[in-house]
Amino acid sequence: MPLFDLPLAQLRNYTSEVTPPEDFREFWNATIEEAQAFPLAASFEPVENHLSVIHTFDVTFAGYGGAPIKGWLHLPVNRAAGSRLPVVVQYVGYSGGRGLVNQDTRWAQAGYAHFIMDTRGQGYGGTLGETPDPHPSAGEVAHAGLMTRGAVSREDYYYRRVYVDAFRAVEAAQSHPAIDPSRVVLAGVSQGGGIVVAVAGLAAGRLDGVVAAMPDVPFLQDFPRAIDITPRGPYPEIAAFLARHRDRYEPMLAVLRYFDGVNLARWATAPALYSAARMDDICPPSTVFASFNAYGAGAADSSGTGAPKEIEVYRFNNHEGGQEHHWIRQLLFLRKILG
């Protein structure tokens, strides 16, 4: 895949035209308050994972609308009795779920608690999932995929439910006695990375303890540009829908502004490590840099300094990004943040 997007010098200065709606903060404040009215009811059931160095728990907690959301919690066996561990809360990519019980334990292998959230209504591709989406979207027009599900209104859009689930996943992780609630790290790739950005923004001023965010090649950023230039992956679901419903472009963009990571990134205060891939034709680098350049802008102090942030750029990679090389980069980043 050639370098089809902006040159790196322009990427570093690229600013999205996406702006938050006037009632953006009020909408999300009300959404989170509504979600927290339901008891979290987090449960952790020990399960056999066939691993000798990691304990695993089958997690259930109340997400959007009180619906049960599944997850895994992995803990290293050799943790000190009575100690509390930093936790990496991980969100998964589009169409994936939490996977099998021992499919991904890497953060527990590194000595951290590792919490993986299942994504409602997904798990049909890549990794398996077990969480249905029981909330039908009012007024929905039938179309393949999730990107347009419920996009007739901000209240019914699919990612409103997902972002709330992800926010409550942090609360669920913090409720476990082996986890230090003051040291929560958010991590994810692609859709998971986009959810990281959303939760980092939503947590600011609402949820203590989020100390770092690591969005890799994040999806759900700068929707208008992504719809226009992305040739592959979930964004073209929106373009295909609009090709048939030619009068829906402006109304749909008005809804998507509430869920665009660029707008949510501005609220974030936790230090961030992003990654972008220059040849990425699923989450183009300009959409990633739009989010990165906005990240923490709303938290800027009198000196103009916002949340600390770094970005690693992989020139010759497509959507796979840095993979194992970037995980080493993340381990070093967390060592700096967590000690």
**C-alpha to C-alpha distance for 174 and 187, rounded to whole angstroms:** 15
Are the CB atoms for 310 and 274 separated by under 8 Å? yes
Amino acid letter for position 306: G
**Burial of residue 69, with CB atoms counted within 10 A of its CB: 0-12 exposed, 13-18 middle, 19 or more buried:** buried
**27 CB contacts (<8 Å, ≥6 apart)?**
21, 154, 258
Contact 61, 168 (CB under 8 A): yes
Torsion sign over Cα 249, 250, 252, 257: positive
State both tokens at 85: 């561990």
**Residues that are catalytic:** 190, 280, 319
Q: At what angle do helices 24-36 and 158-174 cross, to 10 degrees?
A: 50
CB–CB of 280/190 below 8 Å?
Answer: no
